[in-house]
Each structure stands twice: as structure tokens, then as C-alpha cells.
Structure 1
Amino acid sequence: MASEPEETDERQVSERLRTHEDRFTKAERKVARVLHAEYPRAGLESLPTLAKRAQVSSPTVLRLITKLGYGGYGDFQAALLEEVNERMSVPAGRAVEHGGRLDDLSEGFGQIVDAVAGTDGRTSRTEFARIVELLARASGSIYTVGGFESEFCSLHLANLLGQVRPGVRNLGRVVASAPFEVLDMRRGDVLVAFDFRRYQSRTMQLCRQAAEQKAAVVVVTDPWLSPASAQAEHVLVCDSSGPGPFDSRASVVAVVEVLVSEVTALLGEHGSRRIAEVYELMAGSTWAESLVVEGEEGDAASEESSRRPAEPGRA
């Protein structure tokens, strides 16, 4: 009887390191720490050099590599080099590879649907629940920050989350005071950072400062993992594949909206009351409300007319 083919693990080296941590022995964790600390440079060194730096034997390094799903140290380094190249990929280069237009628009929409489904499949339910709890129960403030292609994601989270709980602020990628605001962070505060390839030095700096201030750091990133992930208590990985030369953020928007939905449900009556208060403050500021007012005025006029006695000579 033919055996079932082994399922291929298409995750990047960095993501495998993060998700396999609970399977490592004490000695293997030493290797993982060295790899994380100087990622990806440490993994591109020779096997004896990496083993020496981690103060373990070469066979210990190889056991870790096997647990990550690689056939040998050469395979591991080849995957690491490919990941480095993908991390450095820019839209200009991908535009050449992409070529012409889609034969069918459904192909493009299908790629985005697949990216959202892939994000769902790689998201740990336990990790997600912890982040929901953190955002709902944080005793301090929640700050969001993004970069060149991800600022709108951080704004989207701040806008939605601010409607269900107080103390939510967006730092903005061009706000000069952001480093000073991070200095004011304390235990009980949360920084949610969105960072995607090619990654923003400023975002990494803010995450490092927030962690030093004892704030909780959540990083939302792509399969190649932002270096800022090393400073994070929690990491959410979003599939960025999509049509065209630009990485898609559709799965990031989906993650944000599911997060806020779960936070709202966890907050219960407090969240519902906050939403009602927000929309009460906005009363009279929307076009749809003007239609309701006009309709109500029209109904009142009709009712008044029906009560008014008919003029002499009119039927």
C-alpha cells in the first residue's frame, strides 16, 4: 500500500523557529536564541561557528535543523538565503515578473481570498485569544503604529478599537513626537506595530523602546517576519500574496476586523455602551441622518395637514 506523501511546510525559516519553540530542548533553545538575536546573519555562518557561539555541539545544531523540517545544514542555509532575497524584494522587480493583465478578474480576487484563508490557517487560536484579551483588558493605553505601506492598517485598528474602548492612539509614521510618547509607556500599555517587507527601522526602534519600558508589544507582520518580532510578546503573521507587484494587505485588514470583533464581544455591555456614546457624539454629522430628519419632517407636515380643517369652497 502506497504511503501518503508528506505535507510540505512552506513557512519561512523565521516563522518555523517561532512556532517550533515548544519542541526544542534546553540546548536547542540556546541555538534558537543565537539565531533570533542576529537573524539571519548567524544562520549563514558555518556549522562549527554557530555551534560555538551557542555553546553547544554541532549535533545539537543539526537536531534543531531537523526539527525545523530541513534535510541538513545546507538545506537550512539555502532556505535562509532564499528568505533573505524575498525579504529584500521590491515592487519594481516583481512588476517585471508579473507581466501583463489578468485573463480573468476572478483570478485576482481568488489570490486575495487564498491569502486570507492562508492567514486563517497559520494563525494560532491560543495566540489570537491572548491578543484579544490583552487589547480588551489592558489597564493602560493602546498605541498603534505602521510604516510606509502599513500606516493605514494601524489607523484602521486605532479607529475601530477606539470605538469600543478608551485610551487608543495612533502614533502615525510621520509623527516626530512618537519616540517621546514611547518613553512615556509603562507596564499595562500596549504597542501594536504593523511592519512588512522591507521593514521600517523606525518601527523596530519603537518596538525596542516600548519593550524596554515594559509595555506589551504585538507585531503584525508577513511570513518573512519583521526583525521587530524579536521584541514582541505576540506575533500575528499575515499572508501577503496577491495580484500585481504589490504585497496585498487584504489579510491584514481581515485580521484587524476579526480582532476588533472579538474584543467587542469580550467587552460586552461596556463595548456596546462605548459605541453608542461615539455615535451619539457624531449625531447630525452624516448625510443619512439628514434623510431621516427630512422624512420625519415630511411625516409631521402630512399629519398636521390632515388635522387642519378644510378651507371654505374646497372639497
Structure 2
Amino acid sequence: MKSIAERLQEKTDQLTRAERQLAQTIMQNYPASGLGTITTLANTAEVSTPTVARLVQKIGFSGFPDFQAHLHKELNEKISGPIAKREGWANNAPNEHIINRFTDAVIDNIRHSLADIDTELFDEACKKLSDLDRRIFVVGGRITRTLADYFFLHMQVIRNNVTHISSSSNAWPHYLIDVSEGDIVVIFDIRRYENSTLKLAEMVREKGAEIILFTDQWNSPISNYASHSFSSRIAVPSAWDSNVTCMLLAEIVIAEVQEHHWETTKERMQDLENMFDRTRFFRKFS
């Protein structure tokens, strides 16, 4: 089932000015922003209560209570830990083998995630990552740092001025001191979103740098600071979320950025291979 954020995004072109203003208010602290009364939400967005009623019906709900029930469900999904996610799956587990069920879920995640991508925004993000006048910083969280490390490793081969920010938040000031206006900070953040990463994003924006965010379908709070967000569906029959789709999107970005400066990238790769040969890093077969 599509999230409210996805429904709002799909209907953007069909919304009135007041409805767009309301949609922006909902997304500012999503999904908690819509958990109060209809009057509270209307006052916060500075619109009328009938505007709220019309918007929730426009995105497919029978009324405000139905809208809020969906928000509560999304909130529970966002904050649920591994044990709760595992139990939620086990209670409804079909009899098919885990290999098939897990793979089907991943394929479904990929299909829906790719369908939601705005290709113009994707191309724009890749163009910025290819701009050699911009420095790139990459960071992830407790789990997503592995994705950040993978992304950094490839980007560093493709181009210069790429920095991997340590996942330890007490070391961030040492990196942030070098971030300046025009730089790009790539952040990986999926549920349960980390407060320290959000604080990092706030500080990055204060310094005038842009954020490219890799997140999930519920959208990390960092999306409020990001110029570009890549949302992935991550739910699978497991206690853990799947990062397969997020990895796929990251690899597509890597492939596109590589093509922007292939001749330069090719030279860097050749230099790197020469160093590997000199240090005998890889085993050679003859």
C-alpha cells in the first residue's frame, strides 16, 4: 500500500494552492504532523478545515479519521524494531519457501521504487555529483554506513575530492569544518532514523551545502533538508529491512556519474591498477 507521502507527491499537480500549502505542512514533520485534530492541522497550515477534508479525499481516504488511521499505521512501521517486524511477518507467513518469498518481496520493492523515480531529478542529481568543482562528502548511519562505504569507494575511483565522513558522530565536526557552499553531502538514512544524522543534515544546510539523500518509502526527516531524495521500498519477510533496492539505486547513480567523465575516470582507474600491481594487492593468474 502506498504511503501518504507517495500519494501527496502523485497528486501534486492536481492540488489547489491551499491544498499544496497543506501538503507541505503535512510533510514538514511527517507523519506526526497529521496526528492532531483536523482543526489543529488546518490552523498549522493556515487553511480551512474543509480544505483538509478535501485533500484527504483527493488522495484516496474516506475522511480525516481514515487518513489518521493510515498515519498511525505508518508511524508504527517507522519506529518498529527488528523484533516487532519479525513478529509482524511471522503471524501472516505463507507456506512458500523463504527464498521465493524474500526474492518476490525484493523484486516488488525494486519495481515500485523505480516507478516512483523522477528521471529529471535523477539526472540533475547525477550532474551535480559529476561536477568536479563540487566536493562530495558521504555518510551513513549504524546500518547504512556499509552503503555509504560502498558508494564512497566507487565515487573516489571515478573522481577526485570525495570524502567519507566517519559514522562516529563525535568525529563529524572535523569533517564539517571543511564543508562549504556548493558542496554535496550524500546521506544514507532509513528507518529507525538516527537523531545524530538529522543534526548533521541541519548543520550541512546551515553551511550552504546540498544534500542528496538515500532513504526509504517513509522518507527520513532529512528529506526536509535534501535537494534530492531517492526513496527505496525496504520491507521484506525478515526482522531486518532490505537494502537491496537502495544499493541498486546507488549503483545506478555510480554508473551514470562514471559516464559523465569516462576519459578522466579511465585514467584514474588505470593509475589505480598500476598501484595495485606494484603492491601486488591482487593475486595474478598466468
The TM-score with structure 2 as length reference comes to: 0.90
How many Å separate the matches in 1 of 2:86 and 2:74? 19
Find the counterpart in structure 2 of residue 167 from structure 1: 161
Q: Pairwise CA RMSD of aligned residues?
A: 2.1
Give CA-to-partner distance per residue, 1:193-239, whole Å, 9 cap, x none.
11111111111111111111111111111111111111111110011
Answer yes or no: is 1:191 the counterpart of 2:185. yes
Find the counterpart in structure 1 of residue 83 from structure 2: 92
Q: How does 1:1-315 map to 2 (within 5 A)?
A: 10-99=1-90, 103=97, 105-137=99-131, 139-174=133-168, 176-284=170-278, 285-289=280-284, 291=285, 295=286
Return 19-28 or 171-180, whichever deviates more: 19-28
Return 250-259 or 175-184, whichever deviates more: 175-184
Give CA-to-partner distance per residue, 1:149-207, whole Å, 9 cap, x none.
11100111000111101111111211522134224311221111111111111111111
The amino acid of 1:248's aligned partner reads S
How many Å separate the matches in 2 of 1:53 and 1:175? 33
Give CA-to-partner distance per residue, 1:111-165, whole Å, 9 cap, x none.
2233222322222212211111111115221111111111100111000111101
What secondary structure does 1:192 align onto? strand
- 8 Å CA contact retained: 1:138, 1:190: no
Query: Shift in Å at residue 85 of structure 1?
Result: 0.5
The TM-score with structure 1 as length reference comes to: 0.82
Identical amino acids, percent of aligned pairs: 27
Return 39-48 or 260-269, whichever deviates more: 39-48
- 8 Å CA contact retained: 1:43, 1:50: yes
How many Å separate the matches in 1 of 2:155 and 2:238? 31
How many Å separate the matches in 2 of 1:116 and 1:231? 25
How many Å separate the matches in 1 of 2:151 and 2:60? 35
Query: Shift in Å at residue 67 of structure 1?
Result: 3.3
Give CA-to-partner distance per residue, 1:232-281, whole Å, 9 cap, x none.
11110011122421100111111111110011112231222222222222
Distance 1:55 1:106, change over 3 A: closer
Specify every segment of 5 or more residues in structure 2 that has no aligned partner in the other structure, as ranges: none
Give CA-to-partner distance per residue, 1:272-292, whole Å, 9 cap, x none.
222222222222433333x2x
- 8 Å CA contact retained: 1:138, 1:189: no
- Following TM superposition, where does structure 1 have runs of at least 4 consecutive aligned residues deviating by more than 6 angstroms? none
Query: Shift in Å at residue 78 of structure 1?
Result: 1.1
How many Å separate the matches in 2 of 1:11 and 1:78? 14
Query: Shift in Å at residue 20 of structure 1?
Result: 4.0
What secondary structure does 1:221 align onto? strand
